[in-house]
Structure formats: structure tokens, C-alpha cells
């Protein structure tokens, strides 16, 4: 059985994801695909707009046979950590033949060339990188300049300005470091860029879709003395027809204001409380929090209004908004540097948690169980075969998921569903 791994967020699932799924099968000749999907938090340092089980259900309806969860410590990490975690799961399953990812450039050769340089770090490249960092540039910009100087290729600027290219490079780098035998394929993204905020004809970005849903959820109309919000949602869903699969439209309609939308600002009070409990010394224990950032957090804490506003307040020329947001979520979710070092010491992910699968994927599941090097978890009570590192990772995942659920509970006035009570998605 030939199996290809997809590394995804599906935040939310749209036509570009469906194209990726269909094209992957076409160009690889795969018998099956497996999606490793971010859980309730995503790589740009934010909560997913919809809970992971809903997003998994839409993916399964669209034809993905099996969805695995990328643990939060990787899902909400830098591109390097995000790739490391996802690749480690796919590698340890023991039977994944290839990965296939979307990229803006669609040129595997240049992505592999850059990945090779950043993985091996030749002396000349390292010297250029240190020079650029000393000039006060952020790490991504310093790396971009160093690569351009080392390769003498002006195209590097364009390649490294696009987020899916960057993630693709990190996937390849992670495979190289593991000396993995998995093949690599890339598919050129169609029409919309990752950050485009306006809908296109058929292949709008997730950013544009989230923006539309934000406006729909926040547009309250006054008719006489009655407040209502149904028309804006109805209009939004009409605009999304042809942009997302019908299963996604159905879930967006059925779960609106009961399970979604969730935004970073919904965590504002939780974050402020957590920051008020911290000191400079304790803050620097969290992933991505430097002494300088810890000082700025504490010095500006009295100016805290909302999560988004505080990120804007803290960002600098050297530290991007996204990195600030990730750091703040690391603080809120108790993701510490020592934890990440522990996970790396134990070769990253020590389990693969199944969020959902299709009934017709039974042969795929049987194949995985025969080959996997790590436990496949369908119930959170299945922890007897986990080592200490994997248990700690799963405990942190449960805490982070319960915090997300608490926000839903408070925002939509619904009963709390503990992570142990969340049901496996089966269609």
C-alpha cells in the first residue's frame, strides 16, 4: 500500500485543500493519504477558528481517509518546530512513502537547495547569517539575506517571502536531518496567496474566508427593537458556495455561535491573568520568550487591552507580530523551553493521536497498526504504552484543548466538554 502524508491546518477546509488532496493522489499514485492536522491552535500563533474535531470531520467528508493530530507544542511553534513534529509522526508510522505539500513556487529543486544549505549550514553561510543578525534584523530576514549572499540568487527574496515555501523548506530539512527515505512532492498553490484577505473566484485563501466569517459574526443588525445576526451569516455562506466543499458550508451553518468562531481576543482575559502571575525569570522559561521580550511584556502590562492589541504593542523591527503571538500562547498554554528540549531528546512525537477516520479506511488503519513504531491513540485512556516524554506532551495537549473548550463554553454559554469526553470522528 502506497501512503502519502499531508501536513495541514484546514482552518477552515476550502477548495485549495480539496485540490491539494486530489492532485496528491494524481501525481503520486497513492493508494491512501493521511493528514497530520493542527489541533485547536495553529502555526501563526492563534487559536483555530473552529475546533479540531469539526475541522477533522469536514476533511473526512471531503475524502481524507484519516486525520491525525499534530500536538500543540509543534502546531503553535515556529516553522521549524511545526515541520519537525509533523515529519516525526509520519516517519515513526513506519509505512509512509512520501509527503506532498503546497507551495507558492511549485519548484522542488530550489526548495531542496535552500533546505540543504540551512540544514548543513556551510561556514560561509553561517558567517553571513551572523553578520545580518548583528545588523539588528529579525532571524527570518537575516536568514533570507544570508541565503541570497551565499547563493548569489536574487530569486531567494521571492521564495522566502511566501509562507508555504518556507514550511516546505522546513519539511525537506526535517527529512534530511532524519535521513528519511520518504519521497517529496510539491504542488503549486492555485490563485490566492496565503495572506490574501479578499475572496477570489474559486480558490480563496483561508485568511480571506476567516475574514469573511469574522465580519459575518460581528455584524449585528438592528430591525425595530430586535437584534439579529442571521442575515450576515447567510450572506457569507452564500458567498462561500463554490469556495469550500458542501460539508464545510453545512458545518459552518450548523455550528455557528455554538462551536465557532474562536479568535485570539477571546483569550485576552486569560492571558492577562497569566501574565500578572509571571516574573521576568519565569517568563524566560517559556518557548520563544527571550529576556528582552520578557522585559517588554512586564513593562507594558499596564497597557494591556486585548490579545491582538498587546501583540501590536510588543512587536518590533526584530520580532514579528506572529512570533509575539506564538510566544504569548506558549505562556498561556505552559509550553516551556525545557519541554521542547525533552521532546527533542526523545526524538519528538512519541504517539500518533487519531482524531477521525472514514469507515472505508479500515485497511489503512490495519496497515498502520502493523508498521507503526509509536502507539496509535484513539482514546485518551490509552496511555499505558507512552514513555514519560509522550505522556507529558499529551498532558499539555489535554490542558490546551480544555482551555480552548473553556473559551467556547464562556463565549457561547454552552456546557463544557472535557477533552476525555470528545468523541472520535467516524464517517
Query: Is 367 labelled a binding residue?
Result: no
Q: Is 11 annotated as a binding residue?
A: yes
d(CA 41, CA 49): 9
Task: State how beta strands 41-42 and 46-47 pair.
Answer: antiparallel
Alpha-helical segments (H) within 315-380: 321-332, 337-345, 362-371
16 is in an annotated binding site: yes
Residue 14 is labelled as binding a ligand: yes
Q: Say if residue 282 is preceded by a cis peptide, omega within 30 of 0.
A: no
Judge whether 238 is annotated as a binding position.
no
Q: Is 19 known to sit in a ligand binding site?
A: yes
**Residues contacting 40, CB < 8 A, separation 6+:** 47, 48, 51, 52, 72, 400, 401, 404
Give CA–CA dist 70/75, Å, rounded.
6
C-alpha span between 92 and 258 (Å, rounded): 37
Instruction: Report DSSP letters for 253-301, one per residue.
Output: HHTBTTTB---GGGGHHHHHHHHHT--HHHHTTBTT--HHHHHHHHHHG
What is 69-96 written as a DSSP string? EEPHHHHTS-HHHHHHHHHHHHHHTS--
Q: Check residue 198 and report its DSSP letter.
A: S
13 labeled part of a ligand binding site: yes
Residue 398 marked in a binding site: no
Ligand-binding site membership of 18 (annotated)? yes
Q: Is 189 annotated as a binding residue?
A: yes
* Residue whose C-alpha cell is 527574496: 157
- Residue 122 annotated as part of some ligand binding site: no
| Positive or negative torsion for Cα 22, 37, 351, 60 | negative
Reading the block at residue 372, the C-alpha cell is 507503526
Q: Is 85 annotated as a binding residue?
A: no
CA distance 257 to 407: 12
Helix, strand, coil shares, percent, the chain, to 5: 55, 15, 30
The beta strands (E) that lie in 144-238 are given as 183-188, 221-223, 226-228
Q: What distance in Å separates the CA atoms of residue 388 and residue 380, rounded to the nearest whole number?
A: 15
Return the number of other C-beta atoms located less than 10 Å from residue 405's C-beta.
21
195 is in an annotated binding site: no
Is 345 assigned to a binding site?
A: no
- Which residue stretches of 8-68 are H helix? 15-28, 52-61
Residue 371 to residue 92: CA distance in whole angstroms: 9
Residue 101, marked binder: no
- Which residues line the annotated binding site for ATP? 7-20, 102, 164, 189
Binding-site residues: 7-20, 102, 164, 189
Amino acid at each position: 500500500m502506497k501512503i502519502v502524508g499531508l501536513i495541514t491546518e484546514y482552518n477552515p477546509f476550502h477548495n485549495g485543500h480539496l485540490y491539494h488532496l486530489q492532485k496528491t493522489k494524481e501525481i503520486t499514485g497513492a493508494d491512501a493519504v493521511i493528514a497530520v492536522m493542527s489541533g485547536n491552535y495553529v502555526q501563526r500563533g492563534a487559536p483555530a477558528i473552529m475546533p479540531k474535531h469539526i475541522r477533522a470531520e469536514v476533511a473526512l467528508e471531503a475524502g481524507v481517509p484519516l486525520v491525525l493530530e499534530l500536538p500543540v507544542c509543534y502546531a503553535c511553534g515556529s516553522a521549524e518546530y511545526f515541520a519537525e513534529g509533523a515529519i516525526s509522526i509520519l516517519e515513526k508510522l513506519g509505512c509512509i512513502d512520501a509527503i506532498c505539500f503546497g507551495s507558492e513556487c511549485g519548484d522542488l529543486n530550489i526548495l531542496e537547495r535552500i533546505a540543504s544549505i540551512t540544514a548543513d549550514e556551510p561556514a560561509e553561510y553561517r558567517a553571513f547569517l551572523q553578520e545580518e543578525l548583528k545588523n539588528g534584523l529579525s532571524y527570518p530576514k537575516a536568514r533570507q539575506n544570508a541565503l541570497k549572499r551565499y547563493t548569489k540568487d536574487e530569486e531567494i527574496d521571492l521564495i522566502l517571502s511566501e509562507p508555504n515555501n518556507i514550511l516546505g523548506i522546513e519539511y525537506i530539512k526535517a527529512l534530511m536531518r532524519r535521513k528519511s527515505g520518504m519521497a517529496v512532492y510539491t504542488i503549486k498553490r492555485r490563485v490566492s496567496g496565503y495572506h490574501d484577505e479578499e475572496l477570489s473566484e474559486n480558490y480563496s485563501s483561508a485568511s480571506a474566508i476567516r475574514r469573511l466569517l469574522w465580519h459575518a459574526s460581528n455584524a449585528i443588525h438592528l430591525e425595530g427593537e430586535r437584534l439579529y445576526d442571521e442575515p450576515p451569516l447567510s450572506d457569507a455562506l452564500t458567498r462561500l458556495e463554490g469556495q469550500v466543499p458542501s460539508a464545510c458550508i453545512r458545518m459552518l451553518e450548523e455550528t455557528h455561535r455554538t462551536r465557532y468562531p474562536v479568535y485570539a481576543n477571546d483569550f485576552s482575559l486569560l492571558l492577562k491573568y497569566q501574565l500578572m502571575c509571571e516574573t521576568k525569570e519565569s517568563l524566560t522559561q517559556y518557548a520563544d520568550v527571550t529576556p528582552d521580550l520578557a522585559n517588554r511584556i512586564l513593562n507594558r502590562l499596564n497597557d494591556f487591552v486585548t490579545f491582538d492589541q498587546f501583540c501590536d504593542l510588543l512587536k518590533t523591527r526584530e520580532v514579528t507580530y506572529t512570533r509575539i503571538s506564538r510566544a504569548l500562547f506558549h505562556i498561556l498554554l505552559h509550553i516551556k523551553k525545557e519541554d521542547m528540549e525533552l521532546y527533542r531528546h526523545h526524538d519528538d512525537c512519541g504517539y500518533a493521536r487519531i482524531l477521525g477516520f472514514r469507515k472505508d479506511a479500515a485497511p489503512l488503519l490495519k496497515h498502520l497498526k502493523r508498521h507503526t513504531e509509536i502507539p496509535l491513540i484513539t482514546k485518551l485512556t490509552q496511555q499505558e504504552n507512552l514513555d514519560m516524554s509522550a505522556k507529558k506532551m499529551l498532558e499539555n495537549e489535554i490542558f490546551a484543548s480544555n482551555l480552548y473548550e473553556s473559551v467556547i463554553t464562556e463565549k457561547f454559554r454552552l456546557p463544557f466538554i472535557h477533552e476525555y469526553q470528545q468523541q472520535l470522528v467516524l464517517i
